[in-house]
Amino acid sequence: MNLNLNNKLPREFYVRDTLTVARELLGKIFVRILDGKILAGRIIETEAYIAGEDESAHSSRGKTKRNATMFEEGGLLYVYFTYGMYYCSNVVTNEKGKGDAVLLRSIEPLEGIEIFAQNRFGKTEITGKEKRNLLSGPGKICMAYKLTKAEDGTDLLGDEIFILDASTVPENKMVQTTRIGISKSKELPWRFYEKDNPYVSRK
């Protein structure tokens, strides 16, 4: 896998309309340099959470200690803890003070697969089925990339965690549908994924 680590998405990519960013993040490469090793995968499923109109966004009732990162400038990583055992990662979008973010729901593993496997299953040799299960969910992504509360607020324009530009998924290969695992604002069609990609978290 030959990745150009200098090809980071610029600040302007993130500081835009949240639904546009959620769409355009599909196909981009999410990277973490951990202990000198490269962990990388292709983002293939996202969900938008937008303050104000969206009852299920953490930011919908204003700023709190937990969601403070959502109100920062676009291009930061928002990580939160849920269900007593899992973390979920989001990309903050739009201008400072807005409270918008895009949840990373599924990633197709590209590089550092043995490390992902170690972090997820405690072993480095995995089957094809296990490979499809590596990063196919927001909690799984955090386990595999070792993202926790400590990474909340990390700037994606820094040199530890960042997203590389790559070709955008075309409209005819993109599916837009309702979001998963929420109880409020269920009707909003703010989930996006790449059609026919075997790593999608759920149909």
Residues that bind DNA (CB under 7 A): 47, 49, 56-59, 61, 64-67, 70, 78, 81-86, 88, 90, 101, 103, 120, 133, 137-141, 149, 179-184, 201
Q: Between 4 and 124, whose beta carbon lies closer to DNA?
A: 124
User: What minimum distance in Å lies between the beta carbon of 100 and DNA?
Assistant: 9
Q: How far is the CB of 94 from DNA (least distance, A)?
A: 13
Nearer to DNA, 57 or 76 (CB): 57
Rounded CA Rg of the chain: 16
CA distance 61 to 11: 26
Question: How far apart are CB 165 and DNA at their closest, in Å?
Answer: 23
- Looking at beta carbons only, is 4 or 64 nearer to DNA? 64
Least gap, CB of 22 to DNA (angstroms): 11
Q: What is the distance between the alpha carbons of residues 169 and 187, in angstroms, rounded to a whole number? A: 24
| Angstrom distances, CA of residue 89 to CA of 6, 39, 50, 102, 197 | 22, 15, 15, 9, 21
Secondary element (H or E) of residue 145: helix 138-145
* Least separation in angstroms between CB 7 and DNA: 26
Angle at 188 between CA 132 and CA 155, to 5 degrees: 60
- What's the full length of the chain, in residues? 203
Q: What are phi and psi of 38, to 5 degrees?
A: -90, 125
DSSP state of 142: H
Q: Cβ 139 to DNA, closest distance in Å?
A: 3
Residue 109 in 3-state DSSP? strand
Complex with DNA: residue 29 or 117, whichever CB lies closer: 117
Q: Which is nearer to DNA, 11 or 186 (CB)?
A: 186
Say how far apart CA 173 and CA 12 lie, in whole Å.
25
Residue 67 or 154 with smaller CB distance to DNA: 67
**Residue type, position 60, single letter:** S
